[in-house]
Amino acid sequence: MSLPGNRFIEPVLEVLTRWVNALGLARWLDQRRLRYFIRLLPLRAIPFWIAALLTGLVAVGYERLFHSCEDIGQQIIREHPLWVFGLTPLAFVVSLWLVERFAPAARGSGIPHLMAAVEIPPAQKGLIHKLLSLRIAFIKILSSLMMLLGGGVIGREGPTLQISGSIFQWVYSKLPDFWPRVSQRVMLITGGAAGLAAAFNTPLGGIVFAVEELTRTHITHFRTSVLAAVIIAGMAAQTLLGPYLYLGFPKIGNPGLNHMPWVILFSGVAGILGAWVAMVIQRIGGWKRLRWTSRGKYWGALALGLAFAGILYAFGADAAGTGKPLVNRLLFEPEVQMKWDILPVRMAGMILSYSVGSAGGVFATSLSTGAVLGEVLLQILVLDDLSRNLLILSCMIGFLTGVTRSPFTAAILVLEMTDRHSAIFYFLLAGIAASSAALLVDKSSFYEQGKEGILQALGVDIQPPEGSSTKADEDA
């Protein structure tokens, strides 16, 4: 890292000299010593630290609001099931209106928007504010909370990444002219990693996601920034929420080689179904863009809300929200068997909720749908209890991999959520098997297709997959 030049040192030196003189310290500190002190400051790192701290605080606040709204929505479904025929369509329409009226870039998961922002070339970096801003982050939060009140099957993890990227972009935009040059692209990559780490309490998952999905640049160009941001954002979240595991400590026994074929089978099936759900969502989105007018979008949201209200009325709270209570029940209450029909219900909920066009992610919902799939396969194949949780977790990894095509991120996330290090190789095997199986359905990922559509809409030339990013680009 190069040292700050005189363009930065002189204004800072002038301010510090005033303070030194005012405090009567001039006899001990001359300007040469002051210059040496300024050069030792980790000035380029400070914006990353500030943004990471803000990300951790916002992620915690969002998490608490998110779960409060989810609890309210599920309570209404349980105690007043008929209300869903009014509440759910209204919530879907209002959620869409917030996005369409105030921040169109707040729709969907938000991860494709962050990926697109990272790939915008320096010559067109003025377009980044159309994808990442505090306004977009605020509408993202409001829209997703409204969806949850209506029982929408969405997650907060993808939105948290766009919110985090928006915070890092805002901090970058506020840097004064005399500040040492900071890479905007590295700021955005770091923002994505910090957001995922704070959302799931999974620091390694944030780092792996940054490497696997957000950049084509060698990790040496941003490793220190990412590590520091992940640590600060994660510690800020843990300070407020306390140390916790997203999924607790499920028992998996002592997996052996005899489990490997089942891990491959379960995760492969999950990868295929996850890829199919992602493909259906993409095709519905493409059809809507071609056929629906501005007013038709709201009629469509109303129709989707009514259809989903019928599902909620028929199947209750298990069909709503992130599905995390379902996962906990499956992993920690094996004596309670779940009906097989919850699987198509959860898949339909993902498709209907995401197709509205409002804010909401697919990370948590993919994990819960994968868990339900694992339970269904266990019932069909009548396997022993020893492998139960291992195979459910493998399906969770597989389904998330099928949707996102990020096998290593999915495996590391589940590993950190459960602290089951003895199963790390089985988790990695599940991710690879699911990624390979998903290719049978679609060659490209859900996020990749979304990113390409965003870049095309902005008029950005899509960069070649390899060799396009240089160190000069990173410093631009």
Q: Give the start-to-end residue ranges of the domains of the chain.
A: 46-247, 257-454
Confidence of residue 472 (pLDDT cuts 50, 70, 90): very low
Return the higher-pLDDT residue of 98 and 472.
98
- Nearest-angstrom CA–CA distance, 252 and 316: 30
Q: Give the pLDDT of residue 141.
A: 96
Look up residue 440 and give its amino acid. L
Q: Give the pLDDT of residue 54.
A: 93
Q: Give the pLDDT of residue 203.
A: 78
Return the higher-pLDDT residue of 382 and 115.
115
- Nearest-angstrom CA–CA distance, 418 and 245: 6
CATH ID of 46-247, from 1.10.3080.10, 3.30.930.10, 3.40.50.1980, 3.40.50.10540: 1.10.3080.10
Question: From residue 257, how far is each of 249, 254, 394, 398, 407 by CA, in Å?
Answer: 22, 10, 15, 19, 21
Confidence of residue 208 (pLDDT cuts 50, 70, 90): confident
Are residues 142 and 123 in contact, defined by beta-carbon separation less than 8 angstroms? no
- Nearest-angstrom CA–CA distance, 277 and 281: 6
Q: Give the pLDDT of residue 280.
A: 94
Q: Which of 5-9, 48-52, 98-102 has the lowest mean pLDDT?
A: 5-9
- Nearest-angstrom CA–CA distance, 161 and 301: 25
Q: CB-based burial of residue 56 (10 Å sphere; 0-12 exposed, 13-18 middle, 19+ buried)?
A: buried
Residue 44 per-residue DSSP state: T
- Nearest-angstrom CA–CA distance, 195 and 202: 10
Confidence of residue 223 (pLDDT cuts 50, 70, 90): low
- Nearest-angstrom CA–CA distance, 217 and 234: 24
pTM metric for this prediction: 0.85
Chain mean pLDDT for the chain: 84
Domains 46-247 and 257-454 belong to one CATH topology? yes
With 80 as the cut, is the pLDDT of residue 47 above it?
yes
- Nearest-angstrom CA–CA distance, 55 and 73: 26
Q: Give the pLDDT of residue 375.
A: 92
The topology under which CATH files domain 257-454 is Clc chloride channel (1.10.3080)
Q: pLDDT tens across 102-151, in order?
A: 999 999 999 999 999 998 888 888 899 999 999 999 999 999 999 999 99
Confidence of residue 14 (pLDDT cuts 50, 70, 90): low
Closest CA to 128 of 195, 62, 183: 183
Q: pLDDT tens across 355-368, in order?
A: 999 999 898 999 99
Task: Show the tokens assigned to 118.
Answer: 């990272």
Q: pLDDT tens across 445-467, in order?
A: 888 888 888 998 888 876 554 44
Backbone angles phi, psi at 126, to 5 degrees: -65, -15
Mean pLDDT score, 410-415:
90
Question: From residue 92, how far is each of 98, 122, 162, 231 by CA, in Å?
Answer: 10, 37, 21, 36
Q: Give the pLDDT of residue 39.
A: 56
With 50 as the cut, is the pLDDT of residue 474 above it?
no
With 80 as the cut, is the pLDDT of residue 437 above it?
yes
With 90 as the cut, is the pLDDT of residue 369 above it?
yes
Confidence of residue 21 (pLDDT cuts 50, 70, 90): low
Q: Give the pLDDT of residue 475.
A: 36
Confidence of residue 377 (pLDDT cuts 50, 70, 90): very high
With 60 as the cut, is the pLDDT of residue 36 above it?
no
